[in-house]
Structure 1
Amino acid sequence: MSNFTAKPLPSFIENKLETYLEKHIYSRNNGKHIVQGLQPSDDSIVLRSNDYLAICNHDYIKARQINALSNATREPIMSAVFQSQTVDESSFEQKFADFLGFDHCIITQSGWAANVGLLQTIADQDTHVYIDFFAHMSLWHGAQNAGSKIHPFLHNKPKNLLKQVKKYGPGIVVIDSVYSTHGTVAPLKEFVEVANEQGCAIIVDESHSIGTHGPDGAGLLSELGLTDKVDFVTTSLAKTFSYRAGAILCHHKVHECLPFISLPAIFSSGIIPYEMEALKATLELIKKSDHRREDLFNKSHKLISGLKSLDIRTDSNSQIVAIETGTEENTERVRDFFEFNGIFGAVFCSPATPKNKSVIRLSVNSEVSDAQLDKVLTVCSLAKEQGLLS
C-alpha cells in the first residue's frame, strides 16, 4: 500500500461511489460484486470463456506471433487516421473481407469500437435506428452517440420491427446474430426481408457466430446465404478469435470515411502489425476447424437438452447457455452453490440484463468433456431440488 495521502474527492463524487458500494458490494455475503465469487481450482469446470473452439493457446498461433515479434522493426504506435488505408491481398483485412464476402474490412481496437464507430459514421440526429431490445450495449451506445432517433423493438420479433418501421420510416436496423446474454439466435431471414422491403440498412453483429457457424466458420449470414443482402457486419475478435480487436465489414465508401469520422478510430491507437499476424494465423486455423465446430454444437445440444429434461428454463439455441436465476439475491445463492460444487459460469445482471432477470451464463467450448457436462447437469438438478432454480 502507498503512504501517499489522497486528496479527498468532492462530496458529489464520494456520495455516488459510496451509494454504489453500499448497494452492490458491501451488501454481498462475500463483500464483493455479484459477478465475483470464488477462484476456480485446477479441477473446476470453468465455462466462462468466449474461446469457443479452444484455440487461444494453440501452438500454431503462438509460433506465428513469436516469429512476427522477433522480426518486428519499429512499429507505428499512432492513431489509425495516420495509417495507410491501402491493403494488399495478403493482409488480414483483405483475407477476412474475402472470407466473409465483403469488399472491405476495417480492423478496430475492439468490438465496442467497431459498433460505436460504425454508427457514428453512418447515422446522425435525423436517422431512425431500430434496435433489438437485447442488442449489445455497444450498439445502443453508438446510436446514442450519433444522436439518432432510437426505436427499440421486441427481442427477435420481426413483426414488431415492421410495425415500428411503418410508423417512423426507413432507417438502420440493428441486430445480433447470436445474443451474448441469453444465447438466442436471431431469425435473420425475416429481419433481412423486413429491412430490405422497407428501404432500411441493416447491421448484423456476428461476434458470437463468426468462427462457430457457417461454412469454414464464416458466420450465420453465410450459412443462410444472406451476406449479399445486408449492409454491414460487425464483430468482436475477442470471442472465437480470442484476441483483443474488432472488425467492420462493409462495401462502398464507408471504409474511406470511417477512419476520419469514428471517434474510437480517431482518438485511439491502431492495431500493431505483429498483432495482425496472430489474427491471420487464427483465421487460417478457424477455417480448418470443422471438427471443433461439430464438437461444440454436439456438446451445446447435450447441455441444452439436459437442462430442458430437468425442466430448467433456458432460451438458448447456441453455444451460449443461459440459466435464468431471477433476483440478484437468488443469483448470488445459485452462484455460490455452483462454485462450491466446482462449476464456474459468468453472472450477468443489470445493466446487462433487466432488473431481477439475472442469468448465469455457461459458455460451452469444443474441449469440454461429456463427463464434465454430466457433472454440470447433476449440479443443476441438485440446485433445482433445493429450490434455487425454477
Structure 2
Amino acid sequence: MKKAEDFLVKKLEERKQSNNLRLLPAVTPNLIDFCSNDYLGFTRSSLLKDKIKIFEQQIGITENGSGGSRLLSGNRKFTEETEDFIARFHETESALLFNSGYDANLGLLSCLGQRGDIIIYDELIHASLIDGARLSFADRLKFKHNDIHDLELKLQKAKGIIYVVIESVYSMDGDTAPLKDIYDICEKYGANLIVDEAHAIGVFGDHGKGLVHQNGLNNRIFACVVTFGKALGCHGAAVLGSHNLRNYLINFARSFIYTTAMPLHGIMSIRAAYTLLTEQDHQQDLRQNISLYRNLAFTLKWPCINSLSAIQTIILSSAEKAKDIALYLQKSGYDVRAILSPTVAKGAERLRICLHSFNTSETIEGLILKLKTHE
C-alpha cells in the first residue's frame, strides 16, 4: 500500500510543479456566467421547469430511480417514446439514450472497431472519443486538426472497416469542422463518418438541430452523438443513426448494457427540453452576443481563435498567466476559467469564454474592458 500511496504523491507533486494541478473550484455565488455550457439558459429556464412538471402530472413519478438497466427492469414506454421524438426532431432513423455524452462516445466507439478495422480521428476530439477508440480492437490513426489533406493521406493507408471521428464544434477551440468536405472525402474512400455534436445542438441549425442537419447530412453519416448537458440544460446523450446501429448498440455497447438506466425524471427533462426547442427560436440572443463579443475581442492584444460558436478562446500560452488572469476576472465578478495542459497542449493554455443567450451587452463589454486592463 505504501508504494501505491508514494506513486499518488509523486504524480500529484509533478502536476503541482508544472502548475497544472487540478482542484475543484470554490463555489462562488453571483458571478456573471462566462464559464458554463448552458448556452441557451435552459438550466435556469422557468419554461423548462414548467414543461417538466406537466410531464410529471401527466405520467406520474412513483419511483426515485429506474431500478435497473434498460435490458432488465429499467426500460419505460416513455423512454422509447422520447427516443422516437428525438429521432424525428433530428430527422434520422433512430436514437438510443445513454446516461451521459461520455457513456455514449465510450460505448459507441469501443464496440464498433474490430481487429483489422481502423479508427481515424481528428487530433482534437474529446477525451471520451479517444478512450472509446482505445478500448476497441481497431487500429487508430489521428489526423491534423480540420486538415482534409492529412485526413486523405491517412485514408489512403486504411484497411478494413474505416471509421472517421470528428466533432462538429470543438470543445476547447470553439471552431467548427468542414463537415461537407470531410463527408465527401469519407465517401471517396468508403469510410464511415461519426460526428459528436455536443456543442452544436441548440446553437446551430433550424431550431438548434445542429450542424449535421444544417449541412443536410443527418441521414447520410454513420452516427451522430447529441448530448443534453449543455444547451439543453439537463443530462444524458443519444446516439443517432440507423435502426441497425441502434440494435447493435443495445447488444454490444457495454456502457449501455451494464449501467442503471436514467430515472424517469431525467427522461422527462430531456423530452421537455426538446419540446422547448421546437416551439421557438432560442438562438437569436445567443447569435447577437457571439457577434458582439467577437467584434470586441479581436481588439485585444492576445490571439483569439476564430470561432462562430458559443465557445470563445484567448490563447495565453502559459499556465501561470492563464490562471492569473482567470482569478483576476473572477475577483472582478466574471466567471471565466483557465484551461491548462494536459486538457490542451502545453504552450496553448488559454481562457475559455462561453457565451449565453442570457448574457447582456453590458456584461460582455465589461468583460472585455477588464481583459484590456490586464494586457
* Code of the aligned partner of 1:57: R
Is the 8 Å Cα contact of residues 227 and 237 (structure 2) preserved in structure 1? Answer: yes
Structure 1 position 156 matched with structure 2 position 146: yes
Q: Is the contact made by 1:304 and 1:314 (CA closer than 8 Å) also made in structure 2?
A: no
Note the alpha carbon deviations across 1:129-173, whole angstroms, 9 max, x for none: 110000111111111001321110000111110111012245100
Aligned equivalent of 2:72: 82
Distance 1:76-1:343 versus aligned 2 partners, 3 A rule: closer
Structure 1 unpaired stretches of 5+: 1-9, 385-390
2:313 to 322, 327, 350: 322
Contact 1:50 1:239 in 2 (8 A): yes
Residue number among 154, 162, 165 corresponding to 2:155 in the alignment: 165
Of 94, 108, 111, which aligns to 1:118? 108
- What letter matches 1:151 in structure 2? L
Instruction: Map residues 135-284 of structure 1 onto 2, 5 A cutoff.
Output: 135-169=125-159, 171-284=162-275
Residue ranges of structure 2 left out of the alignment (5+ in a row): none
Distance apart, 1:367 and its partner CA: 0.6
**2:297 aligns to what?**
307
Match for 2:322 among 328, 331, 334? 331
TM-score, normalising length: structure 2: 0.92
- The farther-off stretch of 239-248 and 268-277 is 268-277
How far residue 337 of structure 1 moved from its aligned partner, in angstroms, is: 2.1
- C-alpha separation between the residues in 1 aligned to 2:327 and 2:263? 41
C-alpha separation between the residues in 1 aligned to 2:368 and 2:186?
40
1:273, distance to aligned residue in structure 2 (A): 2.5
Distance of 1:79 and 1:245 partners within structure 2: 15
Identity percentage of aligned residues: 23
Shift of 1:211: 1.1
Secondary structure of 2:327's partner?
helix
Q: Which amino acid aligns with 1:122?
A: L
User: Which residue is equivalent to 1:134?
Assistant: 124
Task: Please name the residue that 1:3 is paired with.
Answer: none
Aligned pair count reads 370
1:229 Cα deviation after fit: 2.1
Q: What's the offset of the Cα at 1:87?
A: 6.2
Root mean square deviation of aligned Cα = 2.3
Q: Is the 8 A contact 1:177 1:206 kept in 2?
A: yes
**Whole-angstrom CA distance in 2 between matches of 1:208 and 1:253:** 26
Amino acid at match of 1:109: N
The amino acid of 1:326's aligned partner reads S
- How big is each residue's C-alpha offset from its partner over 1:294-342, in whole Å with a ceiling of 9 and x where there is no partner? 1111111211221112243121221101111222222222222222222
Deviates more, 1:176-185 or 1:88-97: 88-97
Q: Could you tell me how far apart the structure 2 residues matched to 1:348 and 1:35 are?
A: 12
Measure how far apart 1:60 and its partner are: 3.1
Task: Name the aligned partner's letter for residue 255 of structure 2.
Answer: P
CA offsets 1:78-128 (integer angstroms, 9 cap, x no match)? 112226879689821111101111111000010011111111232123211
Corresponding residue number in structure 2 for 1:51: 38
How do residues 284-303 of structure 1 correspond to structure 2 at under 5 angstroms? 284-290=275-281, 292-303=282-293
The 1:73/1:36 distance shift into structure 2, 3 A limit, reads closer
d(CA) in 2 for partners of 1:216, 1:207: 15
**Does the alignment pair 1:72 with 2:61?**
yes
Q: TM-score, normalised by structure 1?
A: 0.88
